[in-house]
């Protein structure tokens, strides 16, 4: 079965310059450089298999970035009169990871920090009848102090072990 041929990606000179800068940069996250390289190679007519081998990714990833860039071309063309800084930011947004599925965080960073601060205090200073914190005691005290409506000792243990809230 033959599929219709997808349109080629077209870059303006400004877009190409920004992508080349991203691809060469040593100070940005590697994923941005890889993705910029993929787009540049696609516009140069390089095969998707050759691109995948060059950037050490799968062809599926190359197709994914082709599709995302193609979907964003209207947005890019509407931003044609934007400043270089704004266009750079837009291109980085297009090359960024999209939100992943899953349950949103249960606790805010502020709540986690308050729980961590609670665990750093001496229980005696709070008038508690024990000398050392356990995750269960931290959880119980955090709820009593109104830091969170509820929290399990396992969640407290994860926060204390990791040193902070989970990162996305």
Residue 11 DSSP symbol: -
Q: Considering the domain boundaries, does residue 3 fall inside one?
A: no
Domain boundary among 64, 95, 126: 95
The average confidence (pLDDT) of the chain is 90
- Enclosing domain of residue 72: 13-95
d(C-alpha 168, C-alpha 162), whole Å:
14
Q: How confident is the model at residue 165 (pLDDT cuts 50, 70, 90)?
A: low
Q: Considering the domain boundaries, does residue 103 fall inside one?
A: no
Using CA atoms, how far residue 41 sits from 23, 74, 110, 161, in Å, is 11, 20, 44, 44
Q: Considering the domain boundaries, does residue 1 fall inside one?
A: no
Percent of the chain predicted with pLDDT > 70: 96
Q: What's the total number of domains in the chain?
A: 2
């Amino acid at each position: 079965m033959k599929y219709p041929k997808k349109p080629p990606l077209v870059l303006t000179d400004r877009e190409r310059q920004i992508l080349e800068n991203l691809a060469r940069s040593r100070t940005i996250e590697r994923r941005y450089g890889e993705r910029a390289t993929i787009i540049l190679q696609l516009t140069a007519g390089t095969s998707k298999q050759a691109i995948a081998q060059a950037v050490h990714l799968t062809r599926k990833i190359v197709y994914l970035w082709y599709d995302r860039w193609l979907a964003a071309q209207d947005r890019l063309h509407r931003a044609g009169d934007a400043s270089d800084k704004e266009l750079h930011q837009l291109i980085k947004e297009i090359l960024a990871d999209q939100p992943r599925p899953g349950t949103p965080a249960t606790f805010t960073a502020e709540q986690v920090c308050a729980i961590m601060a609670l665990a750093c205090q001496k229980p005696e200073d709070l008038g508690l009848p024990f000398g050392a914190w356990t995750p269960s005691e931290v959880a119980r005290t955090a709820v009593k102090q109104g830091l969170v409506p509820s929290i399990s000792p396992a969640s407290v243990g994860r926060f204390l072990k990791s040193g902070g809230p989970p990162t996305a």
